[in-house]
Structure 1
């Protein structure tokens, strides 16, 4: 029997060498030691048993964007050298219990955008080299307690856009290498105590678009390496004053679109490396004096779309590095002035590096002539729809760097 006949009688040869087959790939037919197979967007509804037998050298397999609704238990058993497997954007509703157990070299597994409603307890058993696991955009309502046990190399876990209403407190305890965890866009109403306790290397945590109403004061205490925390679009009405105390590495904190009516005066005091803070679109009517005074690394601050009627004179004290400030869409009627070291000072005086200031959509009727006299680096200033009746030219005297100035829709006489 010649070599071509031998290939065509092997399991993979029946499919990849058959010119009338949807699996036909000339390069695979000619070379069983191929490293990569791309079967994406082929309208596949199933994979024949043993289709990958004989392709032991395969490192990357792409099954993206097909119509697979189920997989046989031993589909991938011969692929011990496989490193990347993408089965995203299919119609899978479930997975056989041990389907990935032989993929001992796997580092990336994409299962996102399917219709998975549940996972078996040991679905990922044996994947000790797996670094990225994406199960986002499925229909998962719960996770087995030990589902991620043994994934000691996992760096990134994507669980966003499922239907999770609760998570057990030890679900993530085996993930000692995890740096990124995304459980946003679910239906979580609370987080169990200790849920993040074993994630000492976590750097990025996404909790946005859930239904969280409260957070335990020590829920983040073990996350000393965390740099980014997103809790946007939840139902938080208040925050414990110690909540962020142990997040010594945090650079980004987004609390936008909650129901916060007040914030404890010292809640941000330990966040000395924070660069980006967003508390916009809440129900804040006031802010404590000096609430941001310890945030000496802060560069972006968003307070827009609240119900602030005034800001105390020291609100922005010590924010010498701040570059972007938005206080638009509030109910501010004045911008505070005060006396500092026996001299009259303005609320923005410490913002010597400010580049963009957005104050639009407030109820300011007038601006003090020296309100921006320390903000000489200002490039963009938004004052539209502020109910301003008068605006003296002296207001802009020191703004030599200004590129954008918008004063539309006011009530100038």
Structure 2
């Protein structure tokens, strides 16, 4: 009970079995007196948001809920939508199958980071585009087969991770993300890439490994700020010579046994995996 008297506490991480009912699990009393609390992480087996979290809804800036195997949380809890000051929401390792209600997150006007990784999500709804403030979106390790083109109208995105899904293509609208700095589409089944991807001139990290790509566009030379390029595990026979025009590139990967298209293809890169 002494925890509830820590009126100056601004960050709280709870790991273990939690419940709102009397049982062998720990119970959560009201957080109402924790007026300074800004960050809350719950690593447990919750099936719904505890009322104690709602008590601090107006002041939380970051909420992370990680659940153990066997959790039945299949939708984003409605209580989250009242967290008006929320800046980061992390729902890693739940059993989310749909995020259709994600539209309600538009009321969290300060939300800049949304992590839905390691779930069972099969599709992303078009109204994802309503989350205008998003800068980081991680939907990796799901079962997504297609990304809606309107998702790329989240124009403030700087970090986008769609790796470890079942994607066969990327919409040309990806080129709208002129502020994009990190993009990972590794471990999918991509056979082509839209040329518009190479108009995202602020890209610093581009991870495309373990797909079915037969070639890399010569427009890679547009990515003057590129520091890391990962393309191993594809069907590449060679790298375009224009890759040498990426002056900051330090890591480039290609299939084992494949050879670059000559020394010029490596440019100033320091390592080839």
Q: Shorter-normalised TM-score: what interval?
A: 0.7 to 0.9
Distance 1:127-1:175 versus aligned 2 partners, 3 A rule: farther
Matched with 2:63 is 109
Q: Is the 8 A contact 1:151 1:175 kept in 2?
A: no
Secondary structure, counterpart of 2:40 in structure 1: strand
Instruction: Name the residue aligned to 1:373.
Output: none
Is 2:65 the partner of 1:84? no
In structure 2, the partner of 1:215 is: 170
Match in the other structure for 1:261: 214
Q: 1:77 to 1:172 in 2, by over 3 A?
A: farther
Q: CA deviation at 1:169?
A: 1.7
Residue number in structure 1 paired with 2:261: 312
**Residues 97, 316 of structure 1: alpha-carbon distance in 2 compared, 3 angstrom cutoff:** same
For residues 342-357 of structure 1, the aligned pairs below 5 Å read none
**Number of the residue aligned with 2:92:** 136
Tell me the TM-score normalized by structure 1.
0.57
Distance 1:79 1:222, change over 3 A: farther
**Could you tell me how far 1:179 is from its partner in structure 2?**
2.6
Question: In structure 1, which of residues 149, 153, 172 is the aligned counterpart of residue 110 of structure 2?
Answer: 153
Q: Could you tell me which of 222, 243, 247 is aligned with 1:296?
A: 247
1:193 and 2:152 are equivalent in the alignment: no
Q: For 1:14-413, list aligned pairs within 5 A.
A: 16=1, 25=2, 32=5, 34-36=7-9, 59-68=10-19, 75-76=30-31, 81-88=36-43, 90-95=44-49, 100=54, 103-114=57-68, 115=71, 116-120=73-77, 122-143=78-99, 144-176=101-133, 178-200=134-156, 202-218=157-173, 220-245=174-199, 247-266=200-219, 268-288=220-240, 290-305=241-256, 308=258, 311-313=260-262, 315-316=264-265, 319-320=267-268, 322-326=269-273
Structure 2 Cα separation of the partners of residues 70 and 205 of structure 1: 39
Contact 1:169-1:192 at 8 Å conserved across structures: yes
Residue 337 of structure 1 corresponds to none
The change in CA–CA distance for 1:258 and 1:78 in structure 2 (over 3 A counts) is same
Deviation at 1:95, TM superposition (A): 3.4
**Number of equivalences:** 265
Shift in Å, 1:101: 6.8
Larger radius of gyration: 1
Q: Indicate the structure whose relative CO is greater, using CA pairs within 8 Å and at least 6 residues apart.
A: 2
Over aligned residues, Cα RMSD in angstroms? 2.9
SS in structure 2 at match of 1:85: strand
Distance of aligned partners of 1:215 and 1:69 in 2 relative to their CA distance in 1, 3 Å threshold: farther
What is the alpha-carbon distance in structure 2 between the residues aligned to residue 172 and residue 136 of structure 1?
21
> Once the 2 structures are TM-superposed, how far is the Cα of residue 102 of structure 1 from its aligned partner?
5.0
Counterpart in the other structure of 1:400 = none
Deviations 1:219-242 (A, max 9, x none): x22322221111110111121223
Distance 1:296 1:212, change over 3 A: same
The answer to whether the 8 Å contact 1:128/1:150 transfers is yes
Deviations 1:265-297 (A, max 9, x none): 33x132111111111011123444x24143122
- What is the TM-score with the length of structure 2 in the denominator? 0.84
Do the aligned partners of residues 323 and 97 (structure 1) sit closer, same or farther apart at CA in structure 2, a change above 3 Å counting? same
- Whether contact under 8 Å (2:155, 2:178) holds in the other structure is no
Instruction: Give the deviation of 1:66 after TM superposition.
Output: 2.2
